[in-house]
Amino acid sequence: MGVYLKAAGLSKFGKSDDKLIYKIREAIENMDADLSEIEAVYLGLMNPEAFTGVGNIASYVTDKVGLSGVPSVRIETASSTGAAVFYLAYAAVRAGLYKSVLVLAAEKMTHLSTPKVTKIISEVIEPSERKTGASMPSLAAMCARRFAYDNNISENRFTDVLAEVAIKSHHYGSLNPHAQFQKDITKEKYMNSKHVAEPLRLFDCSPISDGAAAVILTSEKTDITVAGVGQGTDKQALTKRDIITRFTSTQKAAITAYNMAGFGPENINFAEVHDAFTPFEVVGLLDTFLLEPKEVEKFYKNKEGYHNGKLPVNISGGLKSRGHPVGASGLAQIVECYRIMTGKYPKEITPEKTDIALTQSIGGLATNNFVTILKKTGAKVKPLPEPMVFKEPIIKPVKDKKYRIFSATRLYTPPEGFDSPLDLVILQRKDKLILARSVSGELPKIGNLVHIDEKIAGSLIVKKDDIFQLLGFKKR
Ligand code: COA
């Protein structure tokens, strides 16, 4: 059975005094749709218990939007929640359970302080890694730094790429009435912005936001078809993964979505990818097979991600500028694609071709990711000659018995309960990665050797007990 998008709406994103339920109602009103045929409500919220203290939220919201009586569930997969709720609502319509489902996704965060929000968000991180004070920006920073190192992109050139992502996001945010940030930024402003987690600056990070998104999924034929959906998970602990510079969870989700759609990446006209941090836009494009690593620098230098470029990406402003109410973003991306495909964007920034769109959403530090492909009903595609197959990453074996710095960051906005700045390192020994806190006062370079010994502080260890605990070593 075909599944179609019938309507889509967003609330204004950003800092708001409104309660969560008002944001949800605003998104529903902005759909401008009749709710009389809705048979179920699927609701996505990442952590309303911690952010707002509201529990039993599915029936609460369903009641407050005037649909009490219809079945309602709440779904959560960390920061990909909005995509997850769409995915499961899609499954319910496709299975024939309901003809018409109201899909909602939202979060209310801005009434809390940054350290408090950071602490709540950090709960998505593996407990043993979270003990170090690691937060999402710090883990993203370490993945990004290693990505540049592995791809032979110097720090300066990598900064150029990230700055281009940020400048593009802010440019399109300035044109999106729903966006939290509606001002262009210059390279100079980017370079002068404070570091959040080195090398990531303020303008590399999505903000703390309030906002909601709404769509109606239906079995009744409309102009926009859900062509493919896919989901992939990965190990919760970053240091237990085969690779941290690319996200296999996205790759698996993308392959499933392409195979379901029956066509491959060359058909995608534009994309909304999860740019919670600017390097995630880059990696998102690679993991959805829309870009090759060797093309990255040229793609951004030549502004190929703009609405008139080779592959428009995040021309809504993305999570970076539209804002990132964590539970809402995955669905907001779908709303933006729907708006672009149905001619609701200003003509001046609508890409030439809008037949097929891809969205990619990251949950946690890429532990539960989704890819969704939308297509104008009846649009022509180049079919896949054969199904795409996931290829395990090729890992070079490391024989070195010494500890080396695999990646490192200095975090200036740690979770509540940790002091700033907080230095974090990922160490590599043989094939094992270890996340630790560094108290040397100096941010070590990737590849540097580190001595781990009770007597030798090296550049890393001062508080031995803590470090032993953090590294998970047995005390001699
Ligand atoms: N990008 C651009 N500007 C931002 C911003 C961002 N991400 N975050 C805040 N600002 C602006 C504010 O609007 C404010 O501007 P003003 O002085 O003109 O009013 C200024 O910067 C200071 O804002 P403040 O809220 O005090 O910043 P902060 O340092 O407390 O928080 C971050 C900034 C980046 C640390 C915070 O937004 C953050 O933690 N983001 C990541 C959230 C996250 O991890 N999400 C989940 C990812 S999956």
Statement to judge: residues 212 and 260 lie in one domain: yes
Question: Quick count: other Cβ atoms within 10 Å of Cβ 430?
Answer: 12
Q: Is the predicted pLDDT of residue 473 greater than 50, yes or no?
A: no
C-alpha atoms less than 13 angstroms from C-alpha of 335 in its C-beta half-sphere: 31
Per-residue b or e along 328-360, where b marks 16 or more CB atoms closer than 10 Å to that residue's CB? bbbbbbbbbbbbbbbeebeeebbbeebbbbbbb
User: What's the token pair of residue 268?
Assistant: 């995608």
Residue 138 placed within a domain = no
Residue 146 placed within a domain = no
Are residues 96 and 240 in contact, defined by beta-carbon separation less than 8 angstroms? no
In short, whether 381's Cβ falls inside 6 Å of ligand 1 is: no
C-alpha atoms less than 13 angstroms from C-alpha of 405 in its C-beta half-sphere: 24
Q: What is the DSSP string of 214-264?
A: EEEEESS--SEEEEEEEEEE--SSGGGSS-SSS-HHHHHHHHHHHHHHTB-
Per-residue model confidence as pLDDT tens digits over 226-237 = 999 999 999 999
In short, whether 118's Cβ falls inside 6 Å of ligand 1 is: yes
Statement to judge: residues 325 and 436 lie in one domain: no
State how far the Cα of 162 lies from the Cα of 156, in Å rounded to an integer.
10
CA angle 186, 281, 75 (to 5 degrees): 125
Which atom of ligand 1 has the smallest separation from the CA of 365?
48
Q: Could you tell me the distance, in angstroms and rounded to a whole number, from the CA of residue 207 to the centre of ligand 1?
A: 5
Per-residue model confidence as pLDDT tens digits over 13-23 = 999 999 999 99
Band (pLDDT 50/70/90 cuts) for residue 402 is: confident
Backbone angles phi, psi at 328, to 5 degrees: -90, -25
Which of 30, 88, 99 is CA-nearest to residue 58? 88
Are residues 400 and 449 in contact, defined by beta-carbon separation less than 8 angstroms? no
Last-in-domain residue among 376, 391, 420: 376
Q: Is the predicted pLDDT of residue 474 greater than 60, yes or no?
A: no
- Whole-number pLDDT of residue 451: 67
Band (pLDDT 50/70/90 cuts) for residue 452 is: low
Nearest Cα residue to atom 8 of ligand 1: 207
Q: What is the DSSP string of 109-178?
A: -TTS-HHHHHHHHHTTS-HHHHTTT--HHHHHHHHHHHHHHHTT--HHHHHHHHHHHHHHHHHHHTT-TT
Residue 189 placed within a domain = no
Statement to judge: residues 341 and 434 lie in one domain: no
Residue 385 placed within a domain = no
By most ligand atoms within 8 Å of CB, the mutation choice from 81, 107, 113, 114 for ligand 1 is 114
State how far the Cα of 189 lies from the Cα of 180, in Å rounded to an integer.
18
- Whole-number pLDDT of residue 16: 97
User: What's the token pair of residue 368?
Assistant: 């539960």
User: What's the token pair of residue 388?
Assistant: 């795409």
Nearest Cα residue to atom 36 of ligand 1: 207
Local structure of 370: helix, strand or coil: strand
- Whole-number pLDDT of residue 460: 41
Statement to judge: residues 344 and 408 lie in one domain: no
Nearest Cα residue to atom 44 of ligand 1: 136
Statement to judge: residues 409 and 462 lie in one domain: yes
pTM (2 d.p.): 0.96
State how far the Cα of 286 lies from the Cα of 250, in Å rounded to an integer.
10
Domain containing residue 243: CATH number: 3.40.47.10
User: What's the token pair of residue 42?
Assistant: 């699927």
Residues 112-126 have a mean pLDDT of: 97
Residue 232 placed within a domain = yes
State how far the Cα of 165 lies from the Cα of 176, in Å rounded to an integer.
17
Residue 196 placed within a domain = no
Statement to judge: residues 422 and 325 lie in one domain: no
In short, whether 207's Cβ falls inside 6 Å of ligand 1 is: yes
Statement to judge: residues 241 and 354 lie in one domain: yes
User: What's the token pair of residue 288?
Assistant: 């959805």
- Whole-number pLDDT of residue 469: 34
In short, whether 125's Cβ falls inside 6 Å of ligand 1 is: no
Residue 389 placed within a domain = no
Last-in-domain residue among 376, 391, 413: 376
Statement to judge: residues 358 and 463 lie in one domain: no
Q: How many domains does the chain have?
A: 2
Backbone angles phi, psi at 8, to 5 degrees: -155, 140
Q: Is the predicted pLDDT of residue 68 greater than 90, yes or no?
A: yes
Last-in-domain residue among 376, 392, 418: 376
Statement to judge: residues 409 and 299 lie in one domain: no
Residue of 384 and 437 predicted with greater confidence: 384
Tokens 């409500």 found at? 41
Band (pLDDT 50/70/90 cuts) for residue 463 is: very low
- Calculate the average pLDDT of the chain: 93
Statement to judge: residues 251 and 288 lie in one domain: yes
User: What's the token pair of residue 387?
Assistant: 């199904």
In short, whether 137's Cβ falls inside 6 Å of ligand 1 is: yes
State how far the Cα of 465 lies from the Cα of 408, in Å rounded to an integer.
21
Domain range spanning residue 418?
A: 404-474
Q: Is the predicted pLDDT of residue 462 greater than 50, yes or no?
A: no
Which of 459, 317, 335 is CA-nearest to residue 32? 335
Give the 3-state secondary structure percentages of the chain, helix then strand then coil, rounded to 5.
35, 20, 45
209-218, 294-303, 344-353, 420-429: segment of lowest average pLDDT: 420-429
Residue 382 placed within a domain = no
Per cent of the chain over pLDDT 70 is: 95
Which atom of ligand 1 has the smallest separation from the CA of 364?
48
Band (pLDDT 50/70/90 cuts) for residue 437 is: confident
- In terms of residues, how long is the chain? 476
What is the arrangement of strands in the sheet containing 72-75, beginning at the earlier edge strand?
72-75, 40-45, 100-107, 211-218, 4-10, 224-233, 368-376, 356-361, 270-273
Residues 308-334 have a mean pLDDT of: 98
Nearest Cα residue to atom 30 of ligand 1: 114
Q: Is the predicted pLDDT of residue 468 greater than 80, yes or no?
A: no
Are residues 92 and 42 in contact, defined by beta-carbon separation less than 8 angstroms? yes
State how far the Cα of 253 lies from the Cα of 372, in Å rounded to an integer.
9
Residues 50-65 have a mean pLDDT of: 96
Q: Is the predicted pLDDT of residue 251 greater than 60, yes or no?
A: yes
Q: Could you tell me the distance, in angstroms and rounded to a whole number, from the CA of residue 387 to the centre of ligand 1?
A: 42
3-state secondary structure 335-362: HHHHHHHCCCCCHHHCCCCCCEEEEEEC
Which atom of ligand 1 has the smallest separation from the CA of 137?
44
Per-residue model confidence as pLDDT tens digits over 122-178 = 999 999 899 889 999 999 999 999 999 999 999 999 999 999 999 999 999 999 999
34-43, 49-58, 324-333, 446-455: segment of lowest average pLDDT: 446-455
State how far the Cα of 263 lies from the Cα of 73, in Å rounded to an integer.
32
Which of 229, 233, 232, 287 is CA-nearest to residue 257? 229
Statement to judge: residues 366 and 442 lie in one domain: no
Which atom of ligand 1 has the smallest separation from the CA of 208?
37
Q: What is the DSSP string of 261-320?
A: HTB-GGG--EEEE--SBHHHHHHHHHHTTSS-GGGHHHHHHTTTTSTTSSS-B-TT-HHH
Q: Is the predicted pLDDT of residue 396 greater than 90, yes or no?
A: no
Nearest Cα residue to atom 9 of ligand 1: 207
Residue of 462 and 220 predicted with greater confidence: 220
Residues 195-219 have a mean pLDDT of: 98
Statement to judge: residues 332 and 461 lie in one domain: no
